Chain A
């Protein structure tokens, strides 16, 4: 990211003559976009206006009814607020944790490789697998983690206690994201110009001052990138994690937008509602992407 700035400016005269060759060169990519992005999107756009049975035997045009139904439903509003809170909380915790770990590890005199390897492990796991591990750890009466909590006097039953279920999902997500954020912050720290750090040291900045006033601002582009990737991860990739940990329960406590979408589309065969929800989710993520590009342009001048 950011590094392609020099290649981005078109060279004068670097134009193809005619349109045949450029079209041919673009065709594979355009085909992929058309088949795997445009077509499903148009399909969802169409389905959002129709009410039909699961088998596609009959359907009727219902106008904006699905939109009205979705937007006015308390469940959707709940899922939206829950998702926003979950995404923000996860990102903040994972960013702070990843940054702290990276600063701590890069500041070590020895053993850096060991810690880098250890902290990276969670990232190598698929969300569903790390969720399965946490399920074993925190299954009431059976899991090691659950045993520790019971020992500490917590009546642990995430199947019933909404707060506990949310905490479990949050902890698993943060644990997984931490590795990713650690990796990027670590790489960014290594690529900081030593001259700047030395200058800061000469000026008397050390310890916390150096982290706050020199390192953190220099890492702003990385932070921005991580904020967007973390948010996107929470919006989409946590599906498997939630499915394994809580299946959206108890009482909708962990039913995020993407999980609700899955339930409506693939469990309830409610295609109209699912189409509306996927369109709204797409808008949300597109907005996030646009925001990232804007901010990036402003914060990182060429």
Chain B
């Protein structure tokens, strides 16, 4: 199987090679900058717009944007290319790949250092705090450039909520009550969720100001980090979800955005998913709908805190030719500019990652016309991040998420109690974190 997948990749790499060989002579005068990204469909078109905009201003560098499939595939392709000695100049890596990229010292060029060296104006303070803190090191220097940022929100069906006479819930207790009233008013289901492990564990932790793992979620060190997911608040949340799943208030719809049709076809009155699902919902929903912040756990003092940035950032790879570096820095500078940020956020539904971009959108009246788009921004900047709500810096994060999803599924199916499931999550997760600590090196 590995062989088959490798073959397919090999074939695809060959095709790209031919395509690039055909394309390069035409621009031989300009230095080509390879930019690998995971944005497909409409998003890919928007990336190309940005790149075209940059290339039009350039006579020395030519950015070549290449879609390498999904986030997983893009990261894998970059790693394989690095190992083969010909990495792309810039690669888009999703949030969960951050720790892997960060731990691989010598595989990447820190963006902060690059920009200083290339004399491009750059400071962490130019970015909105929640986006910056996810991709910065312990000293607050950005290692990668925040690019496409999103965060979970609560989508709700206005007609169904009106029929049940409830407002969008702000706390989980209200969520349970609203769900019960929705069922009584004839709804088949109160709410569902996309990305269960991301929203009901990671974001639940940050939004309620709870640490997810020790050592500030791994920001301090990769060594000796352990999960803190068996805390009472998580147990209660998992128990609530299980009880609501039995009563019909909550309906589980599977991983990623698989549950989205439950909201679109009005089975569930509310749906939690990434703010970047807004376009999909706008395209599918044949009913009035709104966007509200995620509910918080009212019993946790200080909640709600802030939500975490999802999405991806851009990493500059090491071992690229030195004459590429000025061009890479110029391109990153261009991406940070306010007009580009505003255009990107307006056309894609992502959150602008720079303060300049946000101000530009605000000034143009975008948020007045699209108040729903503001909810994600408000969640991210609800309060200044605490040391443990800046983000997650944990290795094997895809695997950790999978363990959590399995635990959630086991609890919802009635096979495990929340206590036992969370204990197992911590036990399995700690084993992985220990292995990551051994290979990644402790010092930061």
Contact = CB atoms under 8 A, between A and B. Distances in A.
Interface of A: 36-37, 40, 44, 51-58, 139-142, 157, 159-162, 236, 239, 247, 249-252, 258, 261-263, 265-270, 274, 278, 281
A57 B107 contact: yes
Nearest to B10: A36
A54 B79 contact: yes
**Main SS class of interface, B:** helix
A86 to B, nearest CB: 15
Nearest to A142: B261
B439 A139 contact: no
B406 interface: yes
17 contacts: A36-B7, A51-B435, A51-B438, A53-B100, A53-B104, A53-B439, A57-B105, A157-B252, A159-B252, A236-B4, A251-B410, A252-B406, A261-B2, A262-B1, A266-B5, A267-B398, A278-B1
Contacts of A161: 413
B3 A36 contact: yes
Contacts of A263: 399, 402
Contacts of A267: 72, 398-399, 402
B104 A140 contact: no
A262 B253 CA distance: 23
B286 to A, nearest CB: 14
B91 to A, nearest CB: 12
B88 to A, nearest CB: 13
Nearest to A248: B402
B253 A140 contact: yes
Contact of A270 (B261, B396, B407, B438): B396
A265 B415 contact: no
A141 B262 contact: yes
A36 B4 CA distance: 10
A140 B262 CA distance: 8
A252 B416 CA distance: 14
Sorted nearest first, the 4 A-B pairs with minimum C-beta distance are: A159-B254, A250-B409, A55-B107, A251-B409
Interface in B321-375: none
Nearest to A40: B3
Interface string B85-106: 0000000000000001001111
A267 B71 CA distance: 10
A274 B2 contact: yes
Given A51-B439, A52-B439, A281-B1, A269 B258 contact: no
B440 interface: yes
Nearest to B402: A263
Nearest to A160: B252
A52 B407 CA distance: 28
A111 B261 CA distance: 42
B386 interface: no
A269 to B, nearest CB: 6
A50 B363 CA distance: 56
B106 to A, nearest CB: 5
B120 interface: no
Nearest to B245: A160
B264 to A, nearest CB: 9
A141 B251 CA distance: 12
B107 A139 contact: no
A53 B441 CA distance: 10
B399 A268 contact: yes
Contacts of A159: 252-255, 258-259
A58 B439 contact: yes
A40 B2 CA distance: 9
Given A55-B79, A57-B104, A159-B252, A141 B405 contact: no
Given A57-B104, A251-B406, 11 more contacts: A51-B438, A51-B439, A53-B439, A139-B261, A249-B405, A251-B410, A261-B1, A266-B5, A267-B402, A268-B396, A274-B2
B7 A55 contact: no
Interface centre among A52, A54, A268 (most CB of B within 10 A): A54
Interface string B249-275: 001111100110110010100000000
B149 interface: no
A244 to B, nearest CB: 11
Nearest to B407: A251
Given A36-B7, A57-B107, A160 B2 contact: no
B378 to A, nearest CB: 31
Best-surrounded residue of B103, B267, B398, B439 (most CB of chain A within 10 A): B439
B107 A141 contact: no
B79 A269 contact: yes
Contacts of B107: 55, 57
Nearest to B108: A55
Interface string B168-183: 0000000000000000
Which of A51, A142, A266, A270: most chain B CB closer than 10 A?
A266
Contacts of B6: 40
Contacts of B122: none
Nearest to B401: A267
Contacts of B104: 53-55, 57
Nearest to B264: A142
Contact of A141 (B83, B252, B267, B440): B267
B437 to A, nearest CB: 12
Given A36-B7, A141-B265, A249 B409 contact: yes
B76 interface: yes
Contacts of B440: 53
Contact of A266 (B72, B105, B267, B415): B72
B174 to A, nearest CB: 25
Contacts of B398: 267-268
